[in-house]
């Protein structure tokens, strides 16, 4: 899908063309005089061939590696908007292709490495902890005995999260053996290979957290209030967003977290705990901003395009 406009950059947006964020980006790209092209993950392809003899003049048709569709091959910059579905083979190929594009010199935002780190909750949290940032105590275990021991070490009250996931999907609070049982059953059924359980301490809070959206040097923020008695604040689960001006040190904390995960556009979730700590929950490398835009009126897509121009 290509929308022809005169001059400017050729920007390929990888994601579902009918999606809200992709549509906003395409419109903002065109409004600033660039060529906007949407590419589905399933449309990505690559061709590898033997390098031509050094004595031959090399043109683009003889390149050792070419990418499809044409919108990807021709792009001056590639923007990732949405994470790929599919099985392990599909995900690895798609990330590898983006990595090869970046190695060739085509800017990919966010970088393939940043995407890989951010989508992996264990790796991203470990990177942030190694950078000295405050994160909730977390245990990742695989067999029934170590999963139960982890739950007990976290005070018999923790949050189970999918290792890969977003928008609050799959989050479960584990407060008793009944809620722990599904994890133990899954791990037992998977033996001897094991089944990963990602367990994180439950941090008492006042029913709200903060999402700081970073786009290059720009930052925007909202406060998200949990719906009813729910402890989850995700807007996708009914959380209520409102405009918020965070303290400067909170913005600096978000920037440090984004740098630890190697992202330049990021949604950083901070949780002010009742005991006075401000903790980094996670960094999203493909952040949504629909709730933020509704609460603040900020045209985020325009800021994203200006950042792409600077790249």
Q: What is the rounded distance in angstroms from the CA atom of residue 28 to the CA atom of residue 305?
A: 7
Q: Give the position of tokens 């031959």.
A: 56
Which of 159-163, 229-233, 241-245 is least confident? Answer: 229-233
The percent of residues above 70 in pLDDT, for the chain, comes to: 88
Fold for domain 129-133+204-298? Answer: D-amino Acid Aminotransferase; Chain A, domain 1 (3.30.470)
CB 202 within 8 A of CB 157: yes
- The number of angstroms, rounded, from the C-alpha of 50 to the middle of its chain's C-alpha atoms is 35
Q: What is the rounded distance in angstroms from the CA atom of residue 111 to the CA atom of residue 274?
A: 35
Q: What is the rounded distance in angstroms from the CA atom of residue 86 to the CA atom of residue 284?
A: 19
Is the omega angle on the peptide bond into residue 143 within 30 degrees of 0, that is, cis? no
Q: What is the rounded distance in angstroms from the CA atom of residue 124 to the CA atom of residue 307?
A: 24
Q: What is the rounded distance in angstroms from the CA atom of residue 108 to the CA atom of residue 264?
A: 11
Average confidence (pLDDT) over 132-141: 97
Q: Give the position of tokens 């170590």.
A: 146
Average confidence (pLDDT) over 57-63: 54
Average confidence (pLDDT) over 237-250: 88
* pLDDT, greater one: 117 or 169: 117
Helix, strand or coil for residue 10?
A: strand
User: In which band, very low, low, confident or very high, does the pLDDT at 7 lie, cut at 50, 70 and 90?
Assistant: low
CATH class as words, domain 138-201:
alpha beta
* pLDDT, greater one: 61 or 134: 134
Cα–Cα separations (whole angstroms), residue 47 to 68, 100, 242, 261: 8, 12, 47, 30
Residue 4 has pLDDT above 50, yes or no: no
- Please spell the DSSP secondary structure of 52-70, one letter per residue: PPTTSPP-GGG-SEEEESH
Domain span(s) for CATH 3.30.1490.20 in the chain: 138-201
Domain span(s) for CATH 3.40.50.20 in the chain: 2-48+64-109
CB 95 within 8 A of CB 164: no
Q: Give pLDDT, residue 88.
A: 84
Q: How many CA atoms lie within 13 A of 114 on its CB side?
A: 24
Residue 72 has pLDDT above 90, yes or no: yes
Question: Within 10 A of 1 (CB to CB), how many other CB atoms are there?
Answer: 14
The percent of residues above 90 in pLDDT, for the chain, comes to: 76
Q: Give pLDDT, residue 5.
A: 45
User: In which band, very low, low, confident or very high, does the pLDDT at 41 lie, cut at 50, 70 and 90?
Assistant: very high
Q: Give the position of tokens 């949604």.
A: 267
Residue 58 has pLDDT above 80, yes or no: no
Domain over 2-48+64-109 is classified CATH 3.30.830.10: no
Average confidence (pLDDT) over 20-33: 96
Instruction: Kindly report the three-state secondary structure assignment for every residue of 186-247.
Output: HHHHHCCCCCCEEEEECCCECCEEEEEEEECCEEEEEEEECCCCCCCCCHHHCCEEEECCCC
Average confidence (pLDDT) over 180-202: 92
- φ and ψ at residue 90, rounded to 5 degrees: -65, -45
Domain span(s) for CATH 3.30.470.20 in the chain: 129-133+204-298
């Amino acid at each position: 899908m290509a929308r022809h406009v005169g001059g400017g950059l050729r920007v390929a947006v990888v994601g579902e063309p009918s999606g809200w964020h992709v549509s906003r980006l395409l419109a903002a790209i065109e409004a600033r005089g660039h060529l906007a092209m949407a590419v589905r993950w399933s449309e990505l392809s690559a061709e590898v061939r033997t390098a031509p003899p050094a004595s031959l003049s090399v043109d683009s048709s003889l390149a050792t590696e070419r990418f499809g569709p044409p919108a990807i091959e021709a792009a001056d910059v590639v923007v990732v908007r949405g994470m790929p579905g599919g099985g392990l083979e599909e995900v690895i190929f798609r990330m590898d292709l983006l990595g090869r594009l970046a190695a060739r010199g085509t800017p990919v935002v966010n970088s393939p490495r940043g995407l890989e780190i951010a989508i992996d909750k264990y790796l991203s949290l470990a990177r942030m902890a190694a950078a000295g940032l405050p994160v909730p105590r977390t245990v990742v275990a695989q067999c029934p005995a170590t999963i139960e021991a982890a739950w007990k070490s976290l005070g018999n009250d923790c949050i189970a999260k999918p290792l890969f996931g977003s928008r609050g999907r799959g989050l479960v609070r584990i407060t008793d053996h009944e809620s722990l049982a599904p994890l133990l059953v899954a791990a037992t059924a998977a033996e001897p290979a094991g089944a990963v359980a990602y367990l994180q301490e439950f941090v008492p809070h006042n029913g709200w957290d903060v999402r700081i959206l970073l786009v290059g040097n720009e930052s925007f923020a909202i406060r998200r209030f949990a719906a009813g008695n729910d402890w989850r604040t995700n807007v996708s689960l009914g959380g209520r967003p409102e405009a918020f001006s965070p303290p400067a040190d909170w913005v600096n904390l978000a920037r440090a977290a984004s740098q630890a995960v190697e992202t330049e556009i990021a949604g950083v979730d901070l949780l002010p705990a009742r005991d006075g700590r401000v903790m980094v929950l996670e960094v999203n490398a493909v952040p949504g901003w629909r709730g933020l835009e509704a609460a603040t009126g900020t045209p985020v897509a325009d800021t994203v395009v200006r950042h792409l121009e600077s790249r």
